[in-house]
Amino acid sequence: MKRYHLVTFGCQMNKYDSQRMEGVLASNGMRQVEEAENADVIILNTCSVREKAENKVFSMIGRLSSLKNGNTKPLIGLGGCMATFWKENIFQRAPALDFAFGPDALERLPCIINERIATGKKQLDIGFGKKPAWDGPESFVRPSTVTAWVGIMKGCDNHCSYCVVPGTRGSEVSRSADSILSEVEELAKKGFKEVTLIGQNVNSYDWQSAGGRISFPSLLKKVDKVTGIERIRFMSSHPKDLTDELIETISGSKKICSSIHLPVQSGSDRILKMMNRKYSSAEYLEKVGRLKSAIEGITISTDLMVGFPSETEDDFKQTLELMEKVRFDALYLFIYSKRGGTPAEKYDGHLSRGIAQERFEIAYSLHKRLILEKNAKFVGRTVEVLCEGQYNGSPGSGDDSFGVNGQFGRSDGNHDVAFVADRDMTGRFVQVEIADSSAFKLRGIASNERVLDE
């Protein structure tokens, strides 16, 4: 039995792909090990959206190459977007690599490894298939028994001017609704309570079945009917594809959570146009207004980029103003990263790192102030939490104040909630009285449990 060590970089899609990879490798008799030193094969599942993330991967390959010590073992492989971004050049850039494979080739991973061993030649598999690669039968390794990601589409057709994803993950392809529903039904039978429908741009999901076209809202309505699944989430959504039908579908369902990730990227119309985002800040705010009036208490998270080429103080000020208006519940804040082959790479007016960093810090402080105010309002209230397991504190924070009784879960609005209960509540819906809040977490004490209908 071969032992493998897997390291995942980047976004939720990559984490999802890693779960699929673990399933594929396990069903081929491979066993995962914690330490790279004990592995026969080391796999790095990578992201090339930002240069900093890529540099981390290259320096890790450099460190890992010392394990080979003149031998062929351990094999080192690179998966994900960096493989499709660098193509055959990846072997010049990182000579210690034995194989590289794109997001669509992960089902073939055991064959790629075997080919490398049998032929002694470096392997590169970066083609895109027409069908979503996860449509076939496969086994998954899921880190939770309560909540699961379900892939519904892959690729992206939006071509934002700064982004490599359309090139590294290919064009949009939706997965068949039947295949999605049978996976959700299977999860419900196993006792999972929550599913998150995942894809690069889920609200452009589009499947032509024998009975007619299935859009994203129609898919949500079908998932809503699956008995046993009590909560439905989805990510990510593009603001331009957020329709009234989708808003009505969320507001009309008890299971679809009142929470949406809606990346805005900038508050300046000039920058949004340069980014090729296809909406203005007024249109974004108008959609946020519709969401907030149709769905009581909806929480909105976003991605925001500072330091885009030619971004002026005034453009940045408009971003801060938009943040004040929306008051986001979670923020993924980035500094623009120049990526080869994207239109933005050739734009004039690339900003210095110092200016971009300064704007990052200003935007981050504003978000922190806004979210602290917002979360403080939960203190004294009761929120329903789906318990996902024992709470071990945030990694590296030293936060273990709940000791062995600590448990964690998420509210309908996707707040992380840590709480104490007198018994293991994993998989149960618990009413938690909130006693304390921070920018990233609510903390409290469990009171009642919601008993689910049979």
# chain residues binding ligand SF4, by CB under 6 A: 10
In this structure, what is the dihedral angle of CA atoms 194, 406, 394, 228, given to the nearest 10 degrees? 0
Cβ closer to ligand SF4: 147 or 236?
236
Closest CA to 193 of 220, 232, 219: 232
**Token pair listed for 154:** 């892959």
Q: How far, in whole angstroms, is CA 296 from its chain's centroid?
A: 25
- Least Å distance, CB 13 to ligand SF4, is 9
161 in contact with ligand SF4 (CB under 6 A): no
Rounded to the nearest 5 degrees, what angle is found at the Cα of 171, between the Cα atoms of 244 and 286? 25
| Amino acid identity for residue 362 in this structure | I
Work out which of 27, 32, 144, 158 binds ligand SF4, going by CB under 6 A. Answer: 158
**CB 240 → ligand SF4: shortest distance, Å?**
9
Q: Segment near ligand SF4 (CB under 6 A), from 90-98, 151-159, 361-369, 380-388?
A: 151-159
Q: Which stretch binds ligand SF4 (CB under 6 A): 89-97, 126-134, 152-160, 174-182?
A: 152-160
Helix (H) or strand (E) holding 323: helix 313-326
173 binds ligand SF4 (CB under 6 A): no
343 binds ligand SF4 (CB under 6 A): no
Residues in CB range of 119: below 8 A, 6 or more apart: none
Question: According to the binding rule CB under 6 A, does residue 233 interact with ligand SF4?
Answer: no
**Residue whose CB is less far from ligand SF4, 60 or 264:** 264
Segment interacting with ligand SF4 (CB under 6 A) among 118-126, 137-145, 155-163, 212-220: 155-163
Q: Does 147 bind ligand SF4 (CB under 6 A)?
A: no
The answer to whether 272 and 280 have CB atoms below 8 angstroms apart is yes
Residues 234-263 that bind ligand SF4 (CB under 6 A): 238
Q: Which of residues 39 and 274 has its CB atom nearest to ligand SF4 in the complex? A: 274
- Whether 432 and 446 have beta carbons less than 8 Å apart is answered as yes
Q: Minimum distance from CB of 38 to ligand SF4 (Å)?
A: 36
Q: Which is nearer to ligand SF4, 124 or 165 (CB)?
A: 165
Tokens 């909630």 -> residue: 417
165 binds ligand SF4 (CB under 6 A): yes
CB distance 1 to 34 below 8 Å: no
Q: Which is nearer to ligand SF4, 23 or 199 (CB)?
A: 199
**Looking at beta carbons, which pairs linking 371-379 to residues 24 or more positions away fall under 8 Å?**
371/328, 371/329, 371/330, 371/331, 371/439, 372/437, 372/438, 372/439, 374/327, 374/329, 375/415, 375/437, 375/438, 375/439, 375/442, 376/437, 378/415, 378/434, 378/437, 378/442, 379/434, 379/435, 379/436, 379/437
* CA 234 and chain centroid, separation: 10
Taking CB under 6 A as the rule, does residue 305 contact ligand SF4? no
Q: How far is CA 191 from CA 34, 87, 145, in A?
A: 28, 41, 7
Burial profile 398-431: b = 16 or more Cβ within 10 angstroms, e = fewer: ebeebeeebbbbbbbbbbbbbbbbeeebbbbbbb
Establish if 346 lies at the interface with ligand SF4 (CB under 6 A). Answer: no
CB of 172 to ligand SF4, least distance (A): 9
Q: Using CB atoms within 10 A of its CB, is residue 395 exposed (0-12), middle (13-18) or buried (19+)?
A: exposed
* Ranges within 174-213 binding ligand SF4 (CB under 6 A): 200-201
Given 105, 146, 163, 442, the residue binding ligand SF4 (CB under 6 A): 163
Residue 159 makes contact with ligand SF4 by CB under 6 A: yes
Whole-number Å distance between alpha carbons of 425 and 449: 9
Residue 160 in the binding site for ligand SF4 (CB under 6 A): yes
Q: What angle in degrees, to the nearest 10, is found between the helix axes of 244-251 and 216-224?
A: 10
Task: Tell me if 264 contacts ligand SF4 by CB under 6 A.
Answer: no
- Of 124 and 160, nearer to ligand SF4 (C-beta) is 160
| Interacting span for ligand SF4 (CB under 6 A) from 161-169, 185-193, 241-249, 436-444 | 161-169
For the bound state, the minimum distance from the C-beta of residue 164 to ligand SF4, rounded and expressed in Å, comes to: 8
The window from 126-134, 162-170, 329-337, 355-363 that contacts ligand SF4 (CB under 6 A) reads 162-170
Piece in contact with ligand SF4 (CB under 6 A), picked from 39-47, 159-167, 175-183, 397-405: 159-167
CA distance 45 to 100: 10
Binding site for ligand SF4 (CB under 6 A): 156, 158-160, 163, 165-166, 200-201, 238
